A and B are shown apart, each in its own frame.
Chain A
């Protein structure tokens, strides 16, 4: 019997839903223990702006970001990474690296750190100071991977964000807002726009608009609060007849997840349409006012996209430089920008550490989902590389030293994990990123950004 194609979809009027990995997709001649083709590694690149409390002099002493011990026996409890303890075997923490390309290179560039830094995070290239259309940075890490392997999936890569990052024109110090808003660059002169609205992500993943529905039909569907799964009933029934019991259960779980995420988006939309006063009045109707709710929705959409192999690459921008957003869920209510400018005072640094820990604390939800998702002969987390970091170090000084950075996932076995690696003073973060690219299968790359050499991510 022929194996079910990995590209099989459930199709109905108004929607297309890709399938999760099913046993029926494994060719009969390959036993379950036989080695698969090159592993399909998923990549998630998460940027948080303004560095970390642990990058300040006091923060280093108190291990607010990087653990004290180097190697495998590190203690996460004083750090902002403590929520990742259940995933420590999947963690590779790289501390003490610098992002020099985010520094000013000329007198006119001094002061523009907030405006320029996001463009540097995934490119490790120094952006050209311009407010015009002649923007220039570098090809970002996620795009290098997507351009090599992304054609194997319907969507080569996606770019998501949480804050409003669609400001036009100049953002100050002679820089285009594009440098502040975009972390993915397909070419040195081609920044990619980011999607903030979970509804847009959902509809993009499930081709809701693409399969012949008009805007009016889509609006009608939204107003009825119906599910895209209603349109797929016949297709699901047909497919289930050809599946074994385990696959039927897996398919049912997956469709439940699709429906659950769709329902959560509908709840947000209904709430935001209700006339209640919003915390984020200028945000699209599909954007939750709650930061945690928004981030979790975006993570669940990424997990779903990975499960159905619609894309293997996400860039995810959690914040925007100089944002005055507050995070009441963190247990501290100060505004982000002001708190990050702590003046070197210990009490304020500890408050900023609370915000750092809160942001990192949203990851276990995602990591747990990946860990519980079967991917071929392993789990999705095993076959994932998630990088999390910032192009800034001590935001009080606006410097780019000792920037926060870690990797989660084993890259299909290329990364051992369970390590804290402290770089020698002055080492570019790009060295670690070059090694990340190697672990993703781009072994021939000799340089990335301002890298000097690859950094052994499996040392120790």
Chain B
């Protein structure tokens, strides 16, 4: 193997490594079809943006009026493959805080729990799974 080839392979490996690192760092970014286990499965939209270990996004929570949702901004972190996110429902009479914990499993599905609480105490705690929304042409 020539010296030039060795250098080139090293550069390629470094580029590939950087690329993989970048991919891992933005791995949760995208739109997720989240199923909240609330007796039956309620589909909600979870949109995430990962930048290294910082995670931001929105969750579209159903309101008490059927067919209506409210977008709740979320902020959180990613650490050792697990993430936490939290946000507050703006404009609500009793300010409700949403906390989402989870991880990406080997099948590419997010799984974890969503907890909600207000000034009067916890409102509920649900398991969820979320599949990445299929990209369309």
Contact = CB atoms under 8 A, between A and B. Distances in A.
Interface of A: 103-108, 110-113, 115, 170-173, 322, 341-343, 396-398
A104 B40 contact: no
Contacts of B69: 111, 173
B133 A111 contact: no
12 contacts: A104-B43, A106-B133, A107-B31, A108-B60, A111-B43, A111-B44, A111-B62, A173-B67, A322-B66, A341-B39, A343-B40, A396-B41
A110 B66 contact: no
A364 to B, nearest CB: 31
A161 B56 CA distance: 46
Interface string B105-126: 0000000000000000000000
Contacts of B60: 107-108, 110-111
A110 B67 contact: no
A104 B35 contact: no
A95 to B, nearest CB: 22
B45 A171 contact: no
A113 B43 contact: yes
A104 B44 CA distance: 11
Interface string B56-80: 0000101000111100000000000
A144 to B, nearest CB: 24
Q: What are the 4 tightest A-B residue pairs by CB atom distance, in nearest-first order?
A: A172-B67, A341-B40, A110-B45, A107-B45
Contacts of B33: 104, 110
Contact of A103 (B41, B42, B134): B134
A111 B66 contact: no
A110 B44 CA distance: 6
Q: Binding site of A, secondary structure by majority: helix, strand, loop or mixed?
A: loop
A110 B41 CA distance: 13
Contacts of B85: none
Contacts of B35: 397-398
B56 to A, nearest CB: 15
Contacts of A173: 67, 69
Contacts, number: 55
Interface in B83-137: 133-134, 136
A172 B40 contact: no
Nearest to A111: B43
Interface size class of B (residues with CB under 8 A): 20 to 34
Given A104-B133, A107-B31, A398-B35, 10 more contacts: A105-B134, A106-B31, A107-B47, A110-B31, A110-B44, A111-B62, A115-B67, A170-B67, A343-B40, A397-B41
Contacts of A105: 133-134, 136
A103 B131 CA distance: 12
B32 to A, nearest CB: 9
Contact of B40 (A103, A108, A110, A396): A396
Contacts of A341: 39-40
Contacts of A397: 35, 41
Given A106-B31, A107-B60, A111-B45, A343 B39 contact: yes
Contacts of A343: 39-40
A398 B41 contact: yes
Interface in B10-53: 31, 33-35, 39-45, 47
A106 B47 CA distance: 10
B39 A110 contact: no
Nearest to A337: B40
Nearest to B135: A105
A398 B129 CA distance: 13
A430 B121 CA distance: 49
A398 B43 contact: yes
Of the listed residues A111, A113, A397, A398, the one surrounded by the most CB atoms of chain B closer than 10 A to its CB is: A111
A107 B133 contact: yes
B45 A108 contact: yes
Given A110-B60, A397-B35, A172 B66 contact: yes
Contacts of A112: 67
Contacts of B68: 172
Contacts of A104: 33, 43, 45, 133
A172 B62 CA distance: 11
